[in-house]
């Protein structure tokens, strides 16, 4: 152990020449971390010199890249994972860990910032897709019973509307369906309201018109009066009168207007115009109520959007807290903490060997630091055993 022997000249000179007393390995680690930060300004530091997270979006999909630096980094390669799990040729079968050749062949002379940038470039060039297992929230050990999975839709907590029937038949328009075209003199045309998310997905209304009613060729439900084969009024006229009627359109039109069938058509037309006007007035009276309900729907949709955004932020925060308290993260932190306590005890021993501290101070400080170091190592080993047992249990 280095604290039993005094430092050699070469070691003391190298330690004195390094800035802040950092070793060459620690200096390289700091250079790689600075390269990572300078290459990606939006990166977040979860734990100093241990864990970092970089969010990015591609094809309306937000993915978090988690970078975990092991205690012996950069001699050991970093562990790079993503959430939610995705399908990509640079990911493992579970879609969680990055298996890029740049990561697998990582050395202490590699550029961590460029590696992450190349990973982002590949994701933008070949966009990933969500893995099937990403619909449920990833709990630490297993999905507790009774906890529903969150679907990867725009609104995870709302079921989608059923698909529309492609072969649905719609009957011909009835007289009441033509009100909008007949009332253009009473209402001003308004631009079509834009579709708003859920509203545009509502199912089409089922037609309620009776398809068994015979529809005439003009497209309306009105039945024309029967035209008789003979006109008794014309049988009483002479040939000269008929010839005169045929040559003069005024007389023919006057005779035509006296027909009861035409009078019935004119009466029916006036009644139909009056009913259309009355229906248009009723529709105009319903317009304020419809506009108020439309505004209420828009306000509720805006509230739904805000609640969805708040829900996603809380889910992201819950995931971050779950990751920070995971078994692997705790094990990595215990390793770093044990290594730091060991270095502190070595510094206390070196100070004592150089005559900078008294023996009483040395014994108290050295025993305290060593006790902390051994406790942390014991906890780290116990946690590693628990993780191994858990892995064997799930594998079986």
Mean pLDDT of 91-97: 88
Segment 218-273, tens digit of pLDDT:
445 677 877 777 777 777 778 888 888 888 888 788 877 888 888 888 899 999 99
pLDDT value at 8 more than 70: no
Q: What is the distance between the alpha carbons of residues 95 and 102, in angstroms, rounded to a whole number?
A: 17
Closest CA to 232 of 260, 201, 265: 260
Of 15-24, 51-60, 244-253, 297-306, the range with the lowest mean pLDDT is 15-24
Tokens found for residue 87:
């399908």
Percent of the chain with pLDDT over 70: 72
> pLDDT value at position 386?
85
Percent of the chain with pLDDT over 90: 17
37, exposed or middle or buried, with CB in 10 Å at 0-12, 13-18, 19+?
Answer: middle
pLDDT value at 376 more than 80: yes
pLDDT grade for 210, boundaries at 50, 70 and 90? very low
> pLDDT value at position 21?
61
336, exposed or middle or buried, with CB in 10 Å at 0-12, 13-18, 19+?
Answer: buried
Segment 110-143, tens digit of pLDDT:
888 889 988 898 888 888 888 875 444 443 333 4
Q: What pTM does this model have?
A: 0.32
Q: What is the distance between the alpha carbons of residues 226 and 109, in angstroms, rounded to a whole number?
A: 99
Mean pLDDT (the chain, rounded): 74
The total number of residues written for the chain in this structure: 396
pLDDT grade for 20, boundaries at 50, 70 and 90? low
pLDDT value at 157 more than 60: no
pLDDT grade for 276, boundaries at 50, 70 and 90? very high
Mean pLDDT of 367-392: 87
Specify the pairing of strand 51-58 against strand 61-68. antiparallel
> pLDDT value at position 260?
83
Q: What is the distance between the alpha carbons of residues 21 and 101, in angstroms, rounded to a whole number?
A: 34
> pLDDT value at position 42?
84
pLDDT value at 207 more than 50: no
pLDDT value at 165 more than 50: no
**Cβ atoms of residues 376 and 348 within 8 Å:** no
- The secondary element (H helix, E strand) that includes residue 44 is strand 44-47
pLDDT value at 198 more than 90: no
Q: How many CB atoms lie within 10 A of CB 348?
A: 23
Segment 304-332, tens digit of pLDDT:
999 999 999 999 999 888 877 887 888 88
């Amino acid at each position: 152990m280095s604290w039993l022997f005094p430092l050699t000249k070469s070691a003391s000179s190298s330690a004195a020449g390094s800035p802040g007393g950092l070793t060459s390995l620690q200096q390289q680690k700091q250079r790689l971390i600075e390269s990572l930060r300078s290459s990606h300004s939006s990166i977040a530091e979860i734990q100093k010199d241990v864990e970092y997270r970089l969010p990015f979006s591609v094809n309306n999909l937000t993915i978090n890249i988690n970078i975990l630096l092991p205690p012996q980094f950069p001699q050991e390669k970093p562990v790079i994972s993503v959430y939610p799990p995705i399908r990509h040729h640079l990911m493992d079968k579970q879609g969680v860990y990055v298996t890029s050749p740049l990561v697998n062949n990582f050395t202490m002379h590699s550029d961590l910032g460029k590696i992450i940038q190349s990973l982002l470039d590949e994701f933008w060039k070949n966009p990933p897709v969500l893995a099937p297992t990403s619909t449920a929230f990833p709990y630490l050990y297993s999905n507790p019973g009774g906890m529903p999975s969150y679907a990867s839709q725009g609104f995870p907590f709302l079921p989608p509307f059923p698909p529309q029937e492609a072969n649905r038949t719609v009957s011909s328009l009835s007289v009441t369906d033509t009100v909008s075209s007949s009332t253009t003199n009473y209402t001003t045309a308004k631009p079509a309201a834009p579709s708003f998310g859920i509203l545009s997905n509502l199912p089409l209304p089922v037609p309620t018109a009776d398809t068994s009613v015979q529809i005439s060729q003009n497209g309306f439900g009105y039945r024309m009066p029967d035209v008789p084969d003979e006109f008794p009024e014309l049988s009483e006229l002479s040939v000269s009168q008929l010839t005169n009627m045929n040559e003069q359109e005024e007389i023919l039109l006057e005779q035509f207007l006296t027909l009861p069938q035409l009078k019935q058509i004119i009466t029916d037309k006036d009644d139909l115009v009056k009913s259309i006007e009355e229906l248009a007035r009723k529709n105009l009276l319903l317009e304020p109520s419809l506009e108020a309900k439309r505004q209420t729907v828009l306000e509720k949709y805006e509230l739904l959007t805000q609640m969805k955004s708040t829900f996603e932020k809380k889910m992201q925060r819950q995931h971050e807290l779950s990751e920070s308290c995971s078994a692997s993260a705790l094990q990595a932190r215990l390793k770093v903490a044990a290594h730091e306590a060991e270095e502190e005890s070595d510094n206390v021993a070196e100070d004592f060997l150089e005559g900078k501290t008294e023996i009483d101070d040395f014994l108290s400080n050295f025993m305290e630091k060593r006790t902390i170091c051994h406790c942390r190592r014991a906890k780290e080993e116990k946690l590693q055993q628990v993780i191994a047992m858990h892995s064997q249990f799930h594998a079986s």
